[in-house]
Structure 1
Amino acid sequence: MAQKTAQTIPSKTHTREEVAKHTAEDDIWCIIDHKVYDVSDFLDAHPGGSYVLQQVAGQDATTAFYNLHRHEVLQKYPDLCIGTIEGEKSEVVDPQPGDLSQVPYGEPVWLTPQFKSPYYNDSHRALQRAVREFVDRDIYPEAQEKEADGTYISQELTDKMAASGNNLLAMRLGPGKHLENRGPLLGNVKPEEFDYFHDLIVAQELSRAKARGFQDGNMAGMMISLSAVRNWANDKDLMEKVTDECLSGKKFMCLAVTEAFAGSDVAGIRTTATKTPDGKHYIISGTKKWITNGIFADYFVTGCKTEKGFSVILVPRDDNVETKRIKTSYSGAAATTFIQFDNVKVPVNHLLGKEDNGFIVIMSNFNHERWAMACGVIRWMRTITEECMKWSNQRLVFGKPLISQPVIRQKLAAMISRTEACQSWLESITYQMNNMSYAQQNKLLGGPIGLLKSYATKCGGEVASEAVNIFGGRGITQTGMGRFVEQFHRTYKFDAILGGAEEVLADLGVRQAVKFMPKAML
């Protein structure tokens, strides 16, 4: 898919009377937003058929066009524009890479000029501008392509994200020492300035690639696994080696915990790690299922049963590791995988944390993963709300815009309310993360983050359902104006399941609250 670029309009001007003369089958002009288009050679290529174009030959087709298309369609075919109407100026906004949306509620409050926020500073704003432009120019085109054909992220894009002065791969892990000595980050943000609001910006802007499978395929596996290596590796040289390999884009990794018999029930894991008689290696055997990025991973942060409990071990890929793709309801670009470990030999220095005490490794790692998933699904809710705002204002039904119907306005009100409520809660928790140590976050925020993710995905389901009804048939069609609505309705459940199901996380939130319940209140 071609990336959006500024449309260079030919300087030549035409009159409406001149346009009206071009109505022959091999000579068709029309007017859209005060610009003149020669579609004579586009008839056979037009996805909607040639007859539709013949119907508007020589006419102003602005209303007809925008009743069926978004402006981005015109941006894909700039060569069709041959000039403008004399004495007239374009009225439709022509968004460019990096631009903020001008649609009400199309951006969070802090990015809306009329409003203020206590959480964000100039550094955050610089990063947001830089990441958005990078997403629009470099990630969005590939994301759409990979989402459609199911192939994995390219090495070229990976290298761009890893490059000095960009460091998007490193930023995926959040604040920390891994950002040191990497030079300035995207937007000239200093590594020591990078906090969880920068992290939130990266997570939400990346989701604007609008490709849910590719979104997970874009190093989500690394984000949720390399953090465990950095926080829990016993061999610091090994930790630095793996960090450098992954953050440079040379190698890839994933988190391999879930099994057919053990999803949220981590205690049910059957993959085993048995020490060799000399005590120098683990022999790992078993299977893992639904593992994001597993197909192309070089390292697997693997949950295993050990002699007296549960342990987490960093397993390098070798000939005894077999990976197979699992077909899911979103794109194969996520590289969702079934893994079989067949007597894989791993040095004992690859143990993360303490042997038989791996639950703390996994559970503490969940907080950032679940928080990042909440960031993504909340941004998707905003994207879909924006799509519905655009559609309901441009779609004509019974001679009036769809937005004139009270029932549509009620649906939009509900979508806006859920999105803004979730964003506010997300920012409140992010502020706490900025003011807590890693240990404090593990103790105090597991429950709130679990409740946030559970609530956000439930709200996402409501937004998805309302959006499909607003778009009608287009809301269940994988091409055209409703394709992102269809995609979100089909894939929001990934956020509701991955990283802990809604019900499990809701229960976690209440159980953690009960732990802090004062006995004097009983």
Structure 2
Amino acid sequence: MSDSKVTVPLSEPPWLSGLPSPYYDDSHRRLQRVCHEFIGEHLIKHALEWETAEEVPSHVFGEFAKANMLLPSLPAPLPVEWLRRVGITEMPGGIPVEKWDAFHMMIYTDEMSRAGLAGPPGALNTGMAFGVPPILHYGDKQLQERFLPDLLLGRKRTCIAITEPDAGSDVANITTSAHTSDCGKYYIINGTKKWITNGVMSDYATMAVRTGGEGSGARGISMLVVPLKNHPGVSTRRLKVAGQISAGTSFIELDDVKVPKENLIGKEGQGMSYIMNNFNHERLFISIGVTRQARVALSAAFEYCMKREAFGKTLMDQPVVRHRLAKCAAMLESQSAWVEQFVYLLSKLSKSDGDKELGGLTALCKANAGIVLDECARCAVLLFGGNGYTRTGQGEIAEKIYRDVPGARIPGGSEDVLMDLAVRQLVKRFQQKTKELDARTKNSRL
């Protein structure tokens, strides 16, 4: 952001308000300026209009793909070899693909969420952020050769399809089946997927299916690349949800859908592991965007309270109003700092170590982001008063962000499940480390 502009309190994280930070170098600041300009012009200034219309125009995806403004949603480090193969050597801001780190990803994600709405950015980058990584990390060479060039260049779109009508956060309970055809060359898929972001827009789905048969639990789950558009046996339709409407939440039905066995991602029966590791990036990605949404809501309320008058003085002159803002500000800035810390750790750890050490805490960070958004959005609606309960006018942004709150607290693992998961993972990791230490101590005595 320009140093010549005085920003509304709480509207920017400290490093964008001119305060020092140990995390960011010139490449990060350059990327922020480039993203702010491009995303501001091509997304942010239209986001409220598009969310109201419940649709992001189809040409916008192409504009972002052409500018390489979808690739930053991938987890860092980037797939350098693949990007070079498709002709991409630099990311936005002129940053070499091999120099891209987790802070670059965070800056991009934050800028995509600057409008305070989850729907418009979700309509563009959900497939790249969550659907492509399993192919990159676990797909064999032939699978990658067939799908990655089109997906990385934005010529085709994918989505991540895990959730089902009776299996949300309980991934091990999915029932969509994939059995081998009589000829042995195909999987035959039957079942349904629900609440799939981008489903109606996507050419493919990175899909969780049950290859192990009934009763096989987590060990019977695999991942496949499943064709969607105009593919026999596949039907998709949009679901009307409360918030994030323009992101294209979908219901997918699969009736004897034939998929080549070569579309298997990794190994049969290993899908649960792939899904859980993929969740780590998904949950951090969501945490970053949701934290920006909370910032937009609270700073909008802050600005409104400085000019709105009641009982002969501005709302900001009322102690009860200042107390509401202060409580939310403390939660927001704590969450913002926590996200930065996570990103720093990820920038220093290998993927395997990051998945192992931070999986549970990432789940907790995502859950807490939703709680902070709930508090900040509710505070904004209350302080905007009647305007915050109206879908147009001064409080429109607060009203729309408040409708996005359940979309922050449920998808990607619902809040209660993630909190329980976080503690279970912390206990598990503690027990592993204790066992390893005991083994080392025993060996040293020998």
User: Structures share a fold, TM > 0.5?
Assistant: yes
How many residues get paired? Answer: 421
Q: Kindly indicate whether residue 111 of structure 2 is the aligned counterpart of residue 205 of structure 1.
A: yes
Q: Secondary structure of 2:179's partner? A: strand
Q: Kindly indicate whether residue 414 of structure 2 is the aligned counterpart of residue 501 of structure 1.
A: yes
1:322 CA drift (Å): 0.3
What residue in structure 2 maps to residue 38 of structure 1? Answer: none
Partner Cα distance (2:151, 2:307) in 1: 45
1:237 CA drift (Å): 3.6
Matches within 5 A, 1:415-494: 415-494=328-407
**For structure 1, which segment, 144-153 or 312-321, has the greater mean C-alpha deviation from structure 2 after superposition?**
144-153
Residues 129 and 320 from structure 1, CA distance in 2 versus in 1: closer, same or farther, beyond 3 angstroms? same
What residue in structure 1 maps to residue 440 of structure 2? Answer: none
- Greater C-alpha radius of gyration: 1
Paired-residue identity, %: 38
Q: Secondary structure of 1:200's partner? A: helix
| CA RMSD after TM alignment | 2.0
> 2:206 pairs with 278, 298, 301, which one?
301
5+ residue gaps in structure 1? 1-94
What residue in structure 2 maps to residue 167 of structure 1? Answer: 68
Name the aligned partner's letter for residue 378 of structure 2: S
1:478 CA drift (Å): 1.2
What residue in structure 2 maps to residue 386 of structure 1? Answer: 299
What residue in structure 2 maps to residue 343 of structure 1? Answer: 256
Residues 214-251 of structure 1: per-residue CA shift (max 9 Å, x gap):
232122133111111111112x2431442221232221
1:499 CA drift (Å): 0.2
Partner Cα distance (2:99, 2:10) in 1: 28
Q: Kindly indicate whether residue 89 of structure 2 is the aligned counterpart of residue 183 of structure 1.
A: yes
Matches within 5 A, 1:122-201: 122-155=26-59, 157-163=60-66, 166-175=67-76, 176-177=78-79, 178-180=82-84, 181-201=87-107
What residue in structure 2 maps to residue 43 of structure 1? Answer: none
Contact residue 153 and residue 217 of structure 1 kept, 8 A: no
Partner Cα distance (1:502, 1:422) in 2: 15
1:100 CA drift (Å): 6.3
What residue in structure 1 maps to residue 428 of structure 2? Answer: 515
Residues 103 and 251 from structure 1, CA distance in 2 versus in 1: closer, same or farther, beyond 3 angstroms? same
Contact residue 153 and residue 214 of structure 1 kept, 8 A: no
Partner Cα distance (1:454, 1:494) in 2: 11
Contact residue 315 and residue 346 of structure 1 kept, 8 A: yes
Residues 106 and 168 from structure 1, CA distance in 2 versus in 1: closer, same or farther, beyond 3 angstroms? same
1:401 CA drift (Å): 1.6
Partner Cα distance (2:386, 2:153) in 1: 44
Partner Cα distance (1:112, 1:453) in 2: 24
Residues 433-474 of structure 1: per-residue CA shift (max 9 Å, x gap):
111111112211111101111112112111111111111011
Residues 334-371 of structure 1: per-residue CA shift (max 9 Å, x gap):
11111011111111111112101210110010000000
Matches within 5 A, 1:306-317: 306-307=211-212, 309-317=220-228
- TM-score, scaled to structure 1: 0.77
Name the aligned partner's letter for residue 125 of structure 1: R
- TM-score, scaled to structure 2: 0.90
Bigger proportion of residues as helix: 2
Of structures 1 and 2, the one with the larger relative CO (CA 8 A, separation 6+) is 2
Residues 106 and 209 from structure 1, CA distance in 2 versus in 1: closer, same or farther, beyond 3 angstroms? closer
1:127 CA drift (Å): 0.5
What residue in structure 2 maps to residue 289 of structure 1? Answer: 194
Contact residue 393 and residue 401 of structure 1 kept, 8 A: yes
1:194 CA drift (Å): 1.0
What residue in structure 2 maps to residue 261 of structure 1? Answer: 166
Residues 208 and 269 from structure 1, CA distance in 2 versus in 1: closer, same or farther, beyond 3 angstroms? same
Q: Kindly indicate whether residue 299 of structure 2 is the aligned counterpart of residue 396 of structure 1.
A: no
Q: Secondary structure of 1:117's partner? A: coil
Q: Kindly indicate whether residue 243 of structure 2 is the aligned counterpart of residue 333 of structure 1.
A: no
Partner Cα distance (2:186, 2:170) in 1: 27
Name the aligned partner's letter for residue 229 of structure 1: I
Name the aligned partner's letter for residue 139 of structure 1: L
Residues 291-315 of structure 1: per-residue CA shift (max 9 Å, x gap):
0000111001111111351111111
